[in-house]
Amino acid sequence: MLHQFLDKLTRLKRGVTKYGKAPHKPVLLLAFIDLIEKGILTQNYVYVDADLVGAFLENWGLLVHTPHSADFTQPFYYLQTDQFNGHPFWHLKAKPGCPVNAHISSAKTLAQVVDYGHFAPEVFLLFMDPLSLTLIKTVLLDTYFPDKKAAYLRSKQTGEGYINDLKGYILSEPEVEYKHVQVITEDEQFVRGGLFKKMVPKMYNNSCCITGMHVESTYGHTFIDACHIVPFSLTHNDTIKNGIALCPNLHRAFDRGLITIDTAYRVKVSAGVIENAGHPYSLKQFNGLPINLPADRRYYPDPANLEWHGGNVFKGG
């Protein structure tokens, strides 16, 4: 069966444009392979998230040098038209009551209507077999990007590229500042925001910096939020110094100005809070307490951001 599937991969349906045949489907399939090789994709549930869209955009930058638009949504949808052994080998599972069509043009919107994508079971088994996966990857590169193959593999070995640059930006690493990583498209904003949501809790050991609450699941989910100190809508600042890790109820309280954190990294609770002071979820019990900070001082919240929140959001009285 492997040889038949490899043959199918050399004949993917691709739209014809004035720039040549569209490269989107092989780029997407290579993104799937990236996630499998990193141990991120281990089950036959492919979610539209920062990992997948980021891998697609990274591979696009490494492999495509024509004026085609790096549209993630189209191959994710149209891969359903490719068949193997008389049946589609890629399927989409929509969320209840949500229509999924080719007119969806952003990863954010796609993530809102698609529960997950999945392969036909026999095809997924091929992707899960290391030897078969290597052959699939080789066939895709040799068929569609032979002139870029060597540079692509070299980049993957060194770990350099789009994702690495974005992570460096979020961590405020000086060596990537000169690259001026900016949000240009809606999909790039989706990726950067998704990485922020993953990386901020990680720096706080996936724990609320105020309560110490730590809840994870065997499915890879954490229940701690990455909270912007200065709203993203004002500054587009997705760096670690503009983030703190909070449990959901304190995230809401922080965003609504019921609590803040001062420049000495101590909690301040608004005098306007009315609550049952003896309740275990009381806000006032945290007033004046120091927060738990990242192990590395480089990732502490920027005092200037905290000062802004205290002066512009916090309702002190």
- Is the model's pLDDT at 49 over the cut of 70? yes
Residue 317: the pLDDT is 62
Do 118 and 44 touch, CB atoms closer than 8 A? yes
Residue 172's nearest CA partner among 144, 145, 203 is: 203
Report whether pLDDT(303) > 90: yes
Q: What is the pLDDT of residue 216?
A: 72
For position 277, what pLDDT does the model report?
Answer: 74
pLDDT of 219 strictly over 70: no
Better-scored residue on pLDDT, 213 or 216: 213
Q: Please give the pLDDT value at position 212.
A: 92
Q: What is the pLDDT of residue 178?
A: 44
**Do the Cβ atoms of 102 and 74 come closer than 8 Å?**
yes
How large is the average pLDDT for residues 48-52?
96
Residue (of 240, 226, 231) closest to 176 by Cα position? 240
pLDDT band at 102 (very low <50, low <70, confident <90, very high): confident
For residues 270-284, average pLDDT = 83
Most confident of 170-174, 228-232, 273-277: 228-232
Backbone dihedral angles phi then psi of residue 193, each to the nearest 5 degrees: -65, -40
As a whole number, the mean pLDDT across the chain is 91
Q: How far apart are CA 76 and CA 90, in angstroms?
A: 9
* Type of residue at 31: A
The answer, yes or no, to whether residue 177 has pLDDT greater than 80, is: no
pLDDT of residue 223: 84
Report the pLDDT value the prediction gives residue 276, as an integer from 0 to 100: 80
Q: What is the pLDDT at residue 81? A: 96
- State the SS3 of the chain: CHHHHHHHHCCCCCCEECCEECCHHHHHHHHHHHHHHCCCCCCCCECCCHHHHHHHHHHHHHHCCCCCCCCCHHHHHHHHHCEECCEECEEEEECCCCCCCCCCCCHHHHHHHEEEEEECHHHHHHHHCHHHHHHHHHHHHHHHCCCCHHHHHHHHHHCCCHHHHHHHHHCCCHHHHCCCCCCCCHHHHHHHHHHHHHHHHHHCCCCCCCCCCCCECCCCCECCEEEECCCHHHHCCCCHHHEEEECHHHHHHHHCCCEEECCCCEEEECCCCCCCCCCCCCCHHHCCCECCCCCCHHHCCCHHHHHHHHHHCCCCC
* pLDDT (average), residues 208-222: 79
**Of 54, 26, 27, 22, which is closest to residue 40 (Cα–Cα)?**
54
Residue 247: predicted pLDDT? 95
> Nearest Cα to 124, choosing from 75, 171, 78, 89?
89
pLDDT score recorded for residue 31: 98
* Among the ranges given (35-44, 87-96, 137-146, 274-283), the one the predictor scored with the smallest mean pLDDT: 274-283
- Give the phi and the psi of residue 196 in degrees, each rounded to 5: -60, -45
Instruction: Report how far apart the first and last C-alpha atoms of the chain are (Å, whole number).
Output: 70
What is the band of 164 on the pLDDT scale with cuts at 50, 70, 90?
confident
**% of the chain residues with pLDDT over 70:** 95
Q: Is 168 left (phi over 0), alpha (psi -120 to 50) or beta?
A: alpha
Is 273's pLDDT higher than 90?
no
pLDDT number for residue 105? 86
For residue 221, the model assigns a pLDDT of 67
pLDDT at 125 over 90: yes
